[in-house]
Structure 1
Amino acid sequence: MTLDELPVGHEARIASVDWAALVPEEAQRLRALGFDAGAKVKLAYRGVFFTRDPLAIEIGRMTVALRRVHARAMQVAEQDLAA
């Protein structure tokens, strides 16, 4: 599943990122914010308009607004809340 498909309120770990699908400057910015394999993320909010942009992603103690096209480049594994 990709990050843009994660249900609101669910936590996941980033399994992989398709850096080639992103513009190099955007990829560099996302890496600087901590978006890389192994990072724990949570979808906090999904936009209400037709494109459902932006997505509010909690990563660490930050909340970052991402476009769906960026979130779509990230494969995630949903976290087991019982663990």
Structure 2
Amino acid sequence: MIKIPETGYLRLPQIVGNPKTEPPTPGLIPISKSAWWAGVKEGRYPKAIKLGPRTTVWRVEDIRALIEKTGGENG
């Protein structure tokens, strides 16, 4: 299990993982970036927060709630 903080923010690679890093970063929710963004647009996944022009994050609390709601599987 991937350890996430109690509070704070997560960026997209922390949520869906990044297979291109060395070693590959596992995701909390094993879906593609495009599937994640489609889910955000449809309201299935939490709304993003823009911290700057190139910085988008999600609240840890929202991601934890999503994982608990879906039983650890993608929604």
TM norm. shorter chain > 0.5: no
Higher relative strand content? 1
| TM-score, length basis structure 2 | 0.30
| TM-score, length basis structure 1 | 0.29
Higher relative helix content? 2
Higher relative contact order (CA 8 A, sep 6+): 1
